[in-house]
Structure 1
Amino acid sequence: MSRMRAAIKESALAPAQITELTGVQRFSFGQNFIGFAGHFPEYPILPAVLQVLLAQLLAEEIIGSPLSVLSLTRAKFLRQLRPEDQIEVHLSCRKKDTAWACRCELQVDGQSAASFTLNLGVSTC
């Protein structure tokens, strides 16, 4: 997954804006982005698993530690994310026992494209 993580980070339009336990970061993925490979031929869309990875990477920046996904709840994927879309990831995290609960919303042109709560644990790797 490190190759995918690197490709995602290269697609960031600017550094993340982080304030306490919240963050915002913008991305745009070109037609040749590795995450579109096979999903789908002739009609590329950003897979949901990569939308979750966007949130996980931003959460790692906010919290300052590598994190593992424990669960995903309240997920709604409302529109297809296509090449060249400018995607804005909004994340708000809070400590929940020994884990983190991060509420995420992905927006395109100010409209919600996806939202979910990502429950993360500090990675031991």
Structure 2
Amino acid sequence: MLYLGGMEMRSRNIIDDQSGWFDGHFPDDPIFPGIAQLQMVCDLISAEQGIPLRLLRLSRVKFKKIIRPGETLDIHAACGNKENSYTFTIMSEGQEACSGMIFLQPSTTTSQSP
């Protein structure tokens, strides 16, 4: 069980224009994929918990802003009110880019982001 009421986590990341996440997404108009944003949230929470975590499910996730190479992302996550849940918000250049609830559980393997 990973329920730790009140725990908050934050990180700041600059999106590298050479990131593997941009391969094929899209060559003439690069956009940071939604799945990459969710992976960053999972990575932040895993680092704070000190154990590898994997996605169980998502709830109320909204993508509100296109993220481009070189933008700075501020990620905030906090323990939710349900077991294994975390609310999160991703801000990009001062605007909300993504928000929602993510449910995670301990993983037996580690994920590898491109």
Shorter-chain TM-score range: 0.7 to 0.9
Q: Distance in 2 between matches of 1:88 and 1:53?
A: 14
> Displacement, 1:110?
2.3
**Pairwise CA RMSD:** 1.5
Q: Mind listing any 5+ residue stretches in structure 1 that lack a counterpart?
A: 1-19
Partner of 2:99: 115
**Structure 1 residue matching 2:39: 3-state secondary structure:** helix
For residues 37-91 of structure 1, what are the alpha-carbon distances to aligned partners after superposition, in whole Å with 9 as ceiling and x for unaligned?
1001111111111100000000101222111100011010001000000111111
Aligned partners of 2:56, 2:64: CA distance in 1, in Å?
Answer: 23
CA contact (8 A) 1:21 1:62 kept: no
Match of 1:78 in 2: 64
Q: For residues 52 and 91 of structure 2, what CA distance do their matches in structure 1 show?
A: 25
1:1-125 aligned at under 5 Å gives the runs 21-94=7-80, 96-97=82-83, 100-125=84-109
Change (3 A) 1:51 1:70: same
> Which one is further off, 83-92 or 60-69?
60-69
**CA shift in 2, pair 1:120/1:95, >3 Å:** farther
The structure in which a higher percent of residues are helix is: 1
Q: Which runs of 4+ in 1 moved over 4 A?
A: none
Deviation at 1:94, TM superposition (A): 4.2
Q: Structure 2 counterpart of 1:68, which letter? A: R
Give the drift of 1:33. 1.3
Q: TM-score, normalised by structure 1?
A: 0.77
Report which structure shows greater RCO (CA 8 Å, sep ≥6).
2
Contact 1:101–1:119 (CA under 8 A) maintained in structure 2: yes
Gaps spanning 5+ residues in structure 2: where?
1-5, 110-114
